[in-house]
Amino acid sequence: MVAEPRICLSVISHGQAELVRILLASLRESGASRHISVILTVNIPEDVRSLATGLPFPFQVVYNSSPKGFAANQNQAFSFCRSPFFCVMNPDITLQQDPFPHLLSLLADRTIGAVTPVLVDSQGKEQDNARLFPTPWRILLRLVRRERLPTAWQSELFYPEWIAGMFMLFPAHVYRHVGGFDEKYFMYCEDADICLRIWRSGFRVALSRRIMAIHDARRSSHKTFRYMRWHLTSLARFFISHPFFRL
């Protein structure tokens, strides 16, 4: 009997089959394929049949009859998860090294409820996947100056308020305990929301700079009014849901 992989990895494609192909190749070439099974959610119609060819890990495709938001797609993927760990990863992530042995070693500390590596762009510049929870005041300050992060966040391992949804690794029991992502968010802030609920449930959120992944962000479409509206709506929902949050 073949053992179930330790990590169920969820990827959502919005017409991004070529990016998914690159991600799958990096999972194979980095050695990360030893630990994972992959669930690919096809959120809008596209042909992904060729992606399954030659993969050294279990691969399942879920086709949506109509598009879902990020939270709903991840919760749907989690319903297929039979592994002790659940990972969400953007299709524009690539790996040059296997991050999972180190990340799993951190999750041996049962006080940690979610972990991520540091993300860098294609030029090696560190991205802001460790963040302070959004508040109206912090957003206003970011409009006039760069956000000042706590000095402790320069450490190799630290515990930010929230980590971005491009790459998040959870113990499955923690994801289940907090109820997964809140599906009232269609896009944006669902990662901040789940991290706040993780903290409130007695767990910590961690980022390690000992390991990295590349995030080749494709954000040009996010300048459209539709994306701005989703972002503002999600921020408003977060403020209403957590008006005076405390960790």
> Over 50: is that where the pLDDT of 18 sits?
yes
> Over 70: is that where the pLDDT of 3 sits?
no
Q: Give the domain extent around 178.
A: 7-241
Instruction: For the full predicted model, state whether its pTM sits above 0.85.
Output: yes
Buried b (16+ CB within 10 A) or exposed e, 199-235: beeebbbbbbeebbbbbeeeeeeeeeeeeeebeeebb
Instruction: Give residue-wise pLDDT tens across range 79-88.
Output: 999 999 999 9
149 compared with 154, residue with greater pLDDT = 154
Residue 27 within any structural domain of the chain: yes
Question: What's 109's domain CATH number?
Answer: 3.90.550.10
Rounded to whole angstroms, the Cα distance separating 14 from 171 reads: 26
Residue 247 within any structural domain of the chain: no
Rounded to whole angstroms, the Cα distance separating 91 from 215 reads: 9
Instruction: Give residue-wise pLDDT tens across range 105-135.
Output: 999 999 999 999 999 998 899 998 998 888 7
Residue 1 within any structural domain of the chain: no
> Over 60: is that where the pLDDT of 161 sits?
yes
Total domains, the chain: 1
- Annotate 130-190 with three-state secondary structure: EECCCCHHHHHHHHHCCCCCCHHHHCCEECCCEECCCEEEEEHHHHHHCCCCCCCCCCCCH
Rounded to whole angstroms, the Cα distance separating 155 from 178 reads: 28
Supply 85's token pair: 């760990």
What pLDDT does residue 220 have?
47
Residue 54 within any structural domain of the chain: yes
